[in-house]
Amino acid sequence: MDGMDAARGAVMSVKELEAFLTLEFPQAFGPGKPHHVESVGRNVATVRLDADESHLRPGGTVSGPAMMALADVAIYVALLGQIGPVGLAVTTNLSINFLRKPAPGPMFADAKLIKLGKRLAVGEVGLRGPGSDELVAHCVATYSIPDRPGA
């Protein structure tokens, strides 16, 4: 376990998260894949998307489905950072608002858990492009957490 991340308040480090996600979402994470965990901390995580052709709309901007997938996984990463590598947590609800046309380039998703209960977790996430704080999309999602011994 990476001490610096532990100091930041997460039970998994960036490296541990990347390794777990490479197994669980082999199409999204891993060498040559577009998603990357930028940072993790107490109830927060940032995930970066280096969009390739499959994520782009004609015109070169990131597609809506690619943004939904990025938002979803960013909250999931923030959740993993708190409860550890639980592969069975599932999204039950996701609501997203598309706010602005993104500029070309990498997209960042800053996720924050606003509730971490025994059975449900809720997170919100803002998506932004490179070099701007303006949100291109904002998303709130709920995850169902499997029963955990001792939780």
* 74 near a copy of itself (CB under 8 A): no
| Alpha carbon distance 71, 111 (integer Å) | 8
Which listed residue (6, 86, 93, 104) binds a copy of itself by CB under 8 A?
93
Q: Which residue has the tokens 């490479």?
A: 22
Contacts of 19 (CB under 8 A, 6+ apart): none
Which listed residue (27, 60, 148, 151) binds a copy of itself by CB under 8 A?
27
Q: What are phi and psi of 149, to 5 degrees?
A: -60, 130
Choose the stretch contacting a copy of itself; rule: CB under 8 A; options: 4-12, 34-42, 103-111, 113-121: 113-121
* 65 near a copy of itself (CB under 8 A): yes
Choose the stretch contacting a copy of itself; rule: CB under 8 A; options: 14-22, 33-41, 63-71, 103-111: 63-71
Tally Cβ neighbours within 10 Å of residue 137.
22
* 149 near a copy of itself (CB under 8 A): no
